[in-house]
Amino acid sequence: MTVAVGDIVVSGSGLRWCVLGFVGNPSGGQDAKLIRKNSEGTFTGLQKDAEMLIPVETPVFESGDAVTIDGFKGTYMSRDGDVARIMLEPRRRQLSSGGFVEIEAGVARASFALLVVQNRSPL
């Protein structure tokens, strides 16, 4: 079974990873670039032969689902290939001068794999 960007997989270590993308390898096959959150909340990545991965889940987001991307709350809109479209909620940002600036709602494009990593637990 083949895997795609955004799929949750297991490698030889038994840890769950998300497929971030694919690159060619020296033997003519494809390696999958994998990503997951580590215990510090940052990301860890590695590269494995795509044929050696065991698919666990193909995450699906429905239009209107509440999501978070890079700490910003929003609503999932759609997916175009490896990119997700998210309507970010309006927010305030504090300026160094002590004032605030209002940021209106807007559409953001984000890696579908990063959306999965940040919104599916545990990963």
Query: How many domains does the structure of the chain reveal?
Result: 2
Residues 70, 112, single domain; the answer is yes
Q: Cα(first)–Cα(last) distance of the chain, in Å?
A: 21
Query: Would residue 2 count as lying in a domain?
Result: no
| Residue 68 pLDDT grade (very low, low, confident, very high; cuts 50, 70, 90) | very high
Residues 15, 39, single domain; the answer is yes
Predicted TM-score (pTM) of this structure: 0.86
Question: Can you give the pLDDT at residue 112?
Answer: 97
Residues 52, 70, single domain; the answer is no
Range of the domain at 98: 66-119
Distance of CA 95 to the CA centre of its chain: 29
| Residue 121 pLDDT grade (very low, low, confident, very high; cuts 50, 70, 90) | confident
For 2-49, the pLDDT digits (tens) are 899 999 999 888 899 999 999 998 988 899 999 999 888 889 999 999
Query: Would residue 1 count as lying in a domain?
Result: no
Residues 38, 80, single domain; the answer is no
Q: Determine what percent of the chain is predicted with pLDDT higher than 70.
A: 98
Could you tell me which residues come within 8 angstroms of residue 120 by beta carbon, excluding any fewer than 6 positions away? 8, 18, 57, 59
